Structure 1
Amino acid sequence: MQIEEKKHQILQAATEVFGTYGYKKTSMQDIADALDISRPALYQYYKNKEAVFLALVEHTLNLGEQAAIQGFSHSEDSFECLLHGIKNMEQVLFGPIFLKPNGKELLTLSKKLAPDLMTSFEMQLFNKIVCVLDKAVVEQRINLKTLNVEVSDVAKIILQSVDGIKNASESLEELDQQLNLFLTVFWKGLQKQGN
C-alpha cells in the first residue's frame, strides 16, 4: 500500500475517533484500533496524536478550499457563486463535525493548534468573497456606494456572520438553512441599495 493512501486511511479513522472521543481522550492506540493496525505501525506515519490532528486539519482545509473553489465558479451569477462557494465549503469542512459528539470541540481546537493553517484558509476564503463582490459591483448587481463601505468590509461581515451561524447551528441541515437565509437576505439588502 502506498504511503499517501495509508495516511489518508489514518486521517479518515482519526476523524471518526477524534469526533467520537474528543481530542483529549483520544490516544494513538484508539486511532490504531480503528484502523486495525498496531500502535508501532501508526507511529511509522505520525509521531504523535498532535501530528495526526494537524495533518487532519490541513487535509480537511484543503478539501474545503477545493469545494469552495468549485462553488465559487458554479455560475456566472455573483450571488449563486457566493452562495455555493460558502455552502460547499461549509458542507465539506463541517459536515463531519455535526455528525460527531465532540465535533465542535475539534473546530475550536483547530484554531488553537493550527492557527497558521486556519488563518491562511480564512484569508483565501476572504479573497474569494472579495472577488465575487467586486464582480457584482462592476456588473451593478449590488451597490455599496450608498452604504459608504468597501468590498473588504462587506466580505468581513459575511465571514463573521457565517462563523456565528456555524457556531449556533445544531445540525448540518440547520446550518444549510441558516446560510441560505442569511446570504439571501444580505444580498437582497445590497441590491436594494442600488434602487
Structure 2
Amino acid sequence: MPHLTPLLLQQAQAGQETAIAAVLAHMMPMLRRCAAQGVCPGLEYDDAVQEGIIGLFSAVKMFDASRGAAFETYASTCIQNAVIAAQRAAGRKKHGPLNQSVPLEENHPAPGPEEIAIRNEQMNATFQAIHTRLSGFEQEVLALFIDGNSYEQIARQLGRTPKAVENALFRLRRKLRQEQPASKL
C-alpha cells in the first residue's frame, strides 16, 4: 500500500493520474469496507464501491491540509457520506419505475426454442441450488430480501440481528455464485 505524502496529495489534486491511482490504492481497503456496509436493496456492492470512489475523488479535490485534519480521516468521511447518500437514494426507489419498466418497442426477435430451453435449464439449476445449497434460514432471508425488505426488517421478522441477516446474504451469494458463476446476485 503506497504511503500518502503531502506531495502525493498535491500531485493528485493537480490531476496527475499516477498520484490519483496511488491515493485510490491506499484508500481502497477502507473504501471496500464502507461499500460492503452500504449494501442494501437497490444498492449492490459494486455500485456502493463506485459511489465511494466518487466520494474519494471529491475528497482529493476538496482537501485542505491547513484545516488540521488528516487526509485519511477527511477522505473516509467523504466516502462514508457518498455511500450513505447512495443508500438513501436507493431506499427512495425514485427510479424504480424506470428500472422495472418494459420498453414499448421491442427490437429484439423473440427467443427461439433452444434459447428458451437453455434459460429454463439455468433457472431450474438456480432453484435447485437454492433448495439444496442454502440453509432454511438463508432461504427465508433470500425470500424476504427479494421482496424488498431491509436488513433490519428481515432481522425483526426472523427474530435475528441485522448482522446475522447480512452474514446470511453474504453466504448465500457466495454459494449461488459457486453454483452458477455467470449469474449476478
Provide TM-score, normalisation by structure 2: 0.31
Bigger Cα Rg:
2
Provide TM-score, normalisation by structure 1: 0.30
